[in-house]
Amino acid sequence: MLAVILSGGSGTRLWPLSREAYPKQFLPVVSEETLLAETINRGLALADNARVMAITNEDHRFVVAAHLHTQAAERTAGIILEPVGRNTAPAIALAALAAAEETPSELLLVMPSDHVLKDLAAFRKAVALGAQVAEAGKLVTFGIIPDSPHTGYGYIRAGQDHEGYSDVAAFVEKPDQATAESYLNEGGYFWNSGMFLFRADRYLEELQKHQPEMLKACQQAYSEKQADLDFVRVGREAFQACPDDSIDYAVMEKTQDAVVVPLDAGWSDVGSWSALWEIQPHDEHDNVCRGDVITEDVTGSYIHSEGRLIAALGVSDHVIVETDDVVLVADRARVQDVKKLVAQVKAQNRQEHRFHKKVHRPWGTYEGIAMGARFQVKRITVNPGATLSLQKHHHRAEHWVVVKGTATVIRGEEQILLTEDQSTYIPLGIKHRLANPGVIPLELIEVQTGSYLGEDDIVRFEDTYNRV
């Protein structure tokens, strides 16, 4: 079985904790593990020979690769990069084409990277049943047994009952409250989990039948694939020409072979702050508090501190989230409208929707400390053995002070070794490179000065990570 993990979303509904460049699947929002790490572990635990493949994008590729290296090691089946987002149906088609090269009948278990499943035993039992049905040629989706009339999920209406599963009678859009209550009372309806299980060849057959243009575009894009480090890059132009559609609309609603396997495993898509409040343990006042938080006369609230103390007094049913650069305060009943705040941030040409204050790079991280006219200060952390690109800047000079570890610096024709409390100066326009030859993280303070300090003022001459 091949676990196909979809990891291309931006997760803005959990803003400001989740950002476009580092969305919720890369964050430990429920446990000590990130949501992606939990998903990888879930896939590997299905069988001793289970493997994991990820579908992601250019921006997230190195974070996904780091997760797979850490957790899947020799059981990684590859990372496919989408040149542009084209929704789930084409993404899964790329995975099916890759799997079918070796084993056309390979079972693909498709899972989003940002969901929560608490009962792994129940999940494995449902997948085992689904595998039997999928091997016989059916296209399986997993329907979550509802415990409330939720209006934030699509629904699946079950048809003819079989032993442990049912035919799919219909996929239903997100309902209003009254309709959701009628579904719960009537029975036979499940929440749509967005997880699927089928043979690679069967998915491609159904795509050929119902979306031939999509399959043709994906086949052309995949035929132009090129290897790049840990990644498979498919043809950009061909994939850009692919229709944009979800697997639900493109295949599952049209096929005659869709079946639903019920799943009761503590599932959540963690699609909002209220969903995060629902699935976590509450204190005696019905609050969920994470980080440095003190409360007085507070009830029914989700309060999350990333660093600073949050002191809350006399509020009910609120969401309060603190990060280094943003504080969100919202009515818990209105958290679906967080996207409206994100839209305002974008409209003002700010960057808080896209980046955290700490920005992740394949070699480590950098974090803004201070900024003013013609200067900014950053804290840079370089992972052991990692190397930045050989580069220069047209508009800024840089001063580096090593705080911890050892740095190898190329500056023009010189190579310099710096240790703690030592520093160097990189003049404007000089080729330079920074590396960590040690076994502990290298930490340094960078002071930039110049007329323009944007991250796009980089000319790369060499790069370990094949970045343009």
pLDDT at 468 over 80: no
- Per-residue pLDDT, 467: 82
Q: Residues 177-187: pLDDT tens digits?
A: 999 999 999 99
Q: What percent of the chain has pLDDT over 90?
A: 88
Contacts within 8 Å (CB) and 24+ apart, 217-225: 217/90, 217/241, 217/242, 217/243, 218/90, 218/93, 218/94, 218/97, 218/242, 219/97, 221/83, 221/94, 222/94, 222/97, 222/98
Give CA–CA dist 249/241, Å, rounded.
Answer: 18
Give CA–CA dist 304/296, Å, rounded.
Answer: 15
Mapping DSSP onto H, E and C, the string for the chain reads CEEEEECCCCCHHHCCCCECCECHHHCCCCCCCCHHHHHHHHHHCCCCCCEEEEEEECCCHHHHHHHHHHHCHHHEEEEEEECCCCCHHHHHHHHHHHHHHHCCCCEEEEEECCCEECCHHHHHHHHHHHHHHHHCCCEEEEEECCCCCCCCCCEEEEEEECCCCEEEEEEECCCCHHHHHHHHHHCCEEEEEEEEEEEHHHHHHHHHHHCHHHHHHHHHHHHCCEEECCEEECCHHHHHCCCCCCHHHHHHCCCCCEEEEEECCCEECCCCHHHHHHHCCCCCCCCEEECCEEEECCECCEEEECCCCEEEECCECEEEEECCCCEEEEEHHHHHHHHHHHHHHHHCCCCCCCCCCEEEECCEEEEEEEEECCEEEEEEEECCCCECCEEECCCEEEEEEEEECCEEEEECCEEEEECCCCEEEECCCCCEEEECCCCCCEEEEEEEEECCCCCCCCEEEECCCCCC
Give CA–CA dist 319/303, Å, rounded.
Answer: 6
The mean per-residue pLDDT over the stretch 450-466 comes to: 92
Give CA–CA dist 214/220, Å, rounded.
Answer: 10
- Per-residue pLDDT, 104: 95
- Per-residue pLDDT, 61: 92
| In this structure, CATH architecture of domain 2-268 | Alpha-Beta Complex (3.90)
- Per-residue pLDDT, 12: 83
- Per-residue pLDDT, 350: 92
Across the chain, mean pLDDT equals: 94
- Per-residue pLDDT, 380: 97
The mean per-residue pLDDT over the stretch 6-13 comes to: 83
358-462: CATH class: mainly beta
Residue with tokens 């084993």: 103
Contacts of 125 (CB under 8 A, 6+ apart): none
Residue with tokens 């204190």: 283
Q: Residues 50-99: pLDDT tens digits?
A: 999 999 998 899 999 999 998 888 899 999 999 999 999 999 999 999 99
Q: What percent of the chain has pLDDT over 70?
A: 100
Q: Residues 11-37: pLDDT tens digits?
A: 788 999 999 999 999 999 899 999 999
CA distances from 121 to 27, 71, 127, 149 (A): 24, 20, 10, 26
Contacts of 82 (CB under 8 A, 6+ apart): 8, 55, 56, 57, 90, 91, 94, 234, 239
Burial readout 23-32 (b: 16 or more C-beta within 10 A, e: otherwise)? bbbbbebbee
Q: pLDDT class for 151, splitting at 50, 70, 90?
A: confident
Domain assignments of the chain as residue spans, ordered by start: 2-268, 282-344, 358-462
CB–CB of 303/332 below 8 Å?
no
pLDDT at 9 over 90: no
pLDDT at 10 over 80: no
Give CA–CA dist 20/82, Å, rounded.
Answer: 16
Which structure tokens are listed for 413? 């024709």
- Per-residue pLDDT, 137: 96
pLDDT at 353 over 80: yes
- Per-residue pLDDT, 234: 96
CA distances from 238 to 14, 54, 220, 241 (A): 33, 20, 6, 5
- Per-residue pLDDT, 333: 93
* Bridge partners of residue 423, in order along the sequence: 401
